[in-house]
Structure 1
Amino acid sequence: MADALWILVANGSRAKLFATDERAEVWDLREEFHHEESRSMSRQLLNQPDNPNAGSLHKPQPENQPDARQQLEIDRFARELAARLERGLNDHAYDRLVIAAPPGLLGMLRKLISTRVHQKLMLDFRADYMNVPDRELPERIPLS
């Protein structure tokens, strides 16, 4: 049976996915996501050996600009979250969706989620609640 509601609380480098029923009295933490590359300083990202474009002798690629590489990592994380929401919908794991994320990430997610997932989105909050204790989230994210 599908959970009535999924709540995604995220920022550019971490996210938590909760599930609850219609009454929303108890939020079950279902999954946590971490994308440490999004938290790294831009210069650290440029010096990573796994960056195929770092140190190119040709014109600099956008991901080699100081802040662009960090934004690229945040975009990758947003794509990961959007894909997870799509899988959940395909698995009939939720009927309704709430997202709480800072404005930049929320905007990315809105662009990346499919029309089907977007149809399940009942609320979104432009805020970073990742440092709020889990037990306080229902007070910060009212579902009714």
Structure 2
Amino acid sequence: MFRTMQDFATEWTRESEQTALLLDACKDESLQQRVAEGHRTLGEIAWHLVQSLHYMTQLGLSFSAPNDEASTSAKKMAQEYRTISRELLQAVTTQWNDESLHETIELWGQNWRKGEVLLFTIMHQVHHRGQMTVLMRQAGYAEVPLMFG
């Protein structure tokens, strides 16, 4: 759980840049790569990373929704991700404060502290980056950006 806005801002900046670098490495021709039938494609996971950040508006934060037209181009998805991740950081750091991180809110039928939601948001990104690296390797990428060494 994050207890200060500065701690979140530092970690979000680092982790969102890692996500953006992975999205930058995606190629249009491999967006249909899937691990198995019935599972998301590389492109669907990439677009999910872009769209999913907007769930934070359910918690009272205000920022723009992603542009759906970006969902078919790897380059546009990476650009859209950078935009919405900056907007999320701006919204969190200007609309919440250190004290509000301890406030409890209802999300998905459960009570969460706002600081816990921010940690979940980062962990969600990391989870899907892992999925993407597997699909990129399956698609034959010669190099996949290293995330944690």
* TM-score calculated relative to the size of structure 2: 0.35
Structure showing greater radius of gyration is: 1
Structure richer in helix, relative to its length: 2
Structure richer in strand, relative to its length: 1
Q: Tell me which of the two structures has the higher relative contact order, counting C-alpha pairs closer than 8 angstroms and 6 or more residues apart.
A: 2
